[in-house]
Amino acid sequence: MIILLLVVAALVLGSIAATAAAPTFVAMLASGHTQNQFAFMTGMATAVHNYQIDHAGSFPSSTFFQQPSAYAPTIPVDPLDPTNATAFTVTIYTNSYGDQGYVITDAVPHPSHTLDGLPQYPGPGVPPAAKCQDNCTKIVYDPTFGTMGQ
């Protein structure tokens, strides 16, 4: 019975997460992004998430992805800049409620028009209020708010 409840809960949470990610994915495609770019940011976030689960909520360092490990078996490569595989940072923050979170920032500049339409990143743990309009050159991923431009 408990296993059945866990399976149902996982299915419900999975469908909620998929629904929340859909608008971001559509916005990225509309602004000229490819599925590979979306997968790049999502893959980095998934590796961080798996690390947190295995380490009871502890957060990795900013060098977490710079070498292969069980959580990132291959170093992620940005499709817009495949020669700069480790050009990103993982920023760990604590919000006003005392909860920890993380933000992954792609340090490689992108042409600003390719990020148009994405929510504009206002800062760690802060919900986005504006959209990128030729003023964002970096991709940011926050698991709470999704993929944004900075």
- Distance (Å, whole) CA 94 – CA 109: 27
Range name among 38-42, 87-91, 133-137 with the lowest pLDDT average = 38-42
- pLDDT greater than 80 at residue 133: yes
Tell me which of 53 and 2 has the higher pLDDT.
Answer: 53
Nearest to 63 by CA among 124, 121, 123, 104: 104
How many Å separate Cα 65 from the centre of its chain? 13
- Our CA angle for 37, 18, 56, nearest 5°, is 85
Q: Tell me how far apart the alpha carbons of residues 86 and 65 are, in angstroms, rounded to a whole number.
A: 7
- Mean pLDDT score, 91-109: 75
Please tell me the total number of residues recorded for the chain in this structure.
Answer: 150
pLDDT confidence of 56, banded at 50, 70, 90? confident
CA 24/CA 14 separation, integer angstroms: 16
Q: Does the structure show a pLDDT above 80 at 98?
A: no
